[in-house]
Amino acid sequence: MKEITAIIRRDKLPETKKALEELGYPSLTIQSVDGRGKQKGAMCAEMDSEMPESFCTSAKLKPTPSTYALEHTLPKVALYVPKRLLTIIVPDDVVTKLVKSMISVNRTGKHGDGKIFVSPIENALRVRTGEQNGEAIA
């Protein structure tokens, strides 16, 4: 079993869910997270894929009150971009297929498309029936 942790744009969530559903793996966990990558959260392109350019410039010029307050107590403030974190537990043999499909759905070509991590899972247990491992995620 593998755990696929995908950090994607907020507005790509419905499409990603649909793509996973079509491949037969509809179960997933979604979390709202804030993240930053190599661009250190400062790039406007990291937000939603359809964000108008005017929003970027105005958002940069006018910091929110909380950011403004932090800037005056700290020498520098770490910026974040809102993202959605998906967690999917799947059998080993479909990992490549799912990752490829998620990449094709989420790719816009701009910075901030996100990252996908694949890590091993040792055991799974369905609480209702007590089934273990592969049966629990089938």
Binding site for other proteins (CB under 8 A): 2, 5, 7-8, 31-38, 40, 70, 74, 76-78, 80, 83, 85, 99, 102-103, 106-120
How, if at all, do strands 115-120 and 81-90 pair? unpaired
Considering the complex, what minimum distance in angstroms separates the CB of residue 30 from other proteins? 12
Our CB check for other proteins shows the closer of 77 and 131 to be 77
Considering the complex, what minimum distance in angstroms separates the CB of residue 93 from other proteins? 14
CA distances from 109 to 40, 46, 76, 103 (A): 18, 11, 29, 11
Helix (H) or strand (E) holding 102: helix 95-106
In angstroms, how far is CA 50 from the centroid of its own chain? 17
Our CB check for other proteins shows the closer of 29 and 58 to be 29
Our CB check for other proteins shows the closer of 93 and 130 to be 93
Considering the complex, what minimum distance in angstroms separates the CB of residue 81 from other proteins? 10
**118 in Cβ contact with 95 (< 8 Å):** yes
